[in-house]
Amino acid sequence: QKEVEQNSGPLSVPEGAIASLNCTYSDRVSQSFFWYRQYSGKSPELIMSIYSNGDKEDGRFTAQLNKASQYVSLLIRDSQPSDSATYLCAVGGFQKLVFGTGTRLLVSP
Amino acid sequence: DAGITQSPRYKITETGRQVTLMCHQTWSHSYMFWYRQDLGHGLRLIYYSAAADITDKGEVPDGYVVSRSKTENFPLTLESATRSQTSVYFCASSGAGVRNEQYFGPGTRLTVT
């Protein structure tokens, strides 16, 4: 059974701080890694994808991948109250994705 | 408008009734997926389709039926709804290949009474 583990949170950070979200996965042959943001009552929205070891930056978001440790993380710099949401980690092999249960992030003004 | 749409957005049905949830995408994506999202379980794959007339089971297929006669449509049918199928259902689509970013529809909130 392929598994993706995330701390459910909530992770509370003050506005302007860096939020660090973590995810581990069990399937060593996974090839694609994604972070989705989901606001309450809404559908998941893709915010980052990463496919090779290292860091990938997009605006205030940085995804980090370490395949040897089977670990993916998402850093959100200068966190804003509008970043308050549940962040889902998803790990894929061929086409199908396995999702973690998500980490709830709360950014306080 | 381009994108992925689902209908209905909300549905209340009775135990034992058949209900069909619709999904339509305008990106010409080859792959389409149905997930259910429940508290404590996250997103679980019900069925997916690689192309028209090609479907396969996901993690939780029991009680569900899918078809895909056209690339853009992927309906999900609950043949005899049960209370355990009360959930939020999301449809998603992606292109082919290893860089398989999936994009989600707005979801259908289904309540079975």
Interchain proximity A51–B42, CB inside 8 Å: no
**Residues in chain B closer than 8 A to A88 (CB atoms):** 42-43
Nearest to B45 among A32, A46, A96 (CB): A96
Q: Which residues of A touch B41 (CB under 8 A)?
A: 101
Of the pLDDT bands very low, low, confident and very high (cuts 50, 70, 90), residue B105 is very high
Report the distance separating Cα B88 and Cα A86, nearest Å: 16
| pLDDT tens-digit readout, A48-95 | 999 999 999 999 999 999 999 999 999 999 999 999 999 999 998 778
Task: Write the residue in B45, B101, B107 that is nearest to A34 by C-beta.
Answer: B101
The pLDDT, as a whole number, for residue B1 is: 59
Dump pLDDT digits (tens) for B23-51. Answer: 999 998 999 999 999 988 889 999 999 99
Per-residue pLDDT of A36-48, as tens digits, reads 999 999 999 999 9
Q: Which among A31, A43, A94 is the nearest to B107, CB-wise?
A: A43
CA distance B11 to B3: 22
The residue of A34, A95, A98, A99 whose CB has the most chain B CBs within 10 angstroms, and thus the best one to mutate to test that interface, is A95
Look at residue B2 in the predicted model and tell me its pLDDT. 65
pLDDT value, residue A84: 98
Q: How far is residue A82's CA from residue A108's CA, in Å, rounded to a whole number?
A: 10
Report the distance separating Cα A102 and Cα A37, nearest Å.
Answer: 9
3-state secondary structure of B59: coil
- The vertex-B12 CA angle with B6 and B14, nearest 5°, equals 130
Residue numbers in B near A43 (CB within 8 A)? 90, 104-107
Q: pLDDT (tens digit, 9 = 90+) per residue, B45-80?
A: 999 999 999 999 999 999 999 999 999 999 999 999
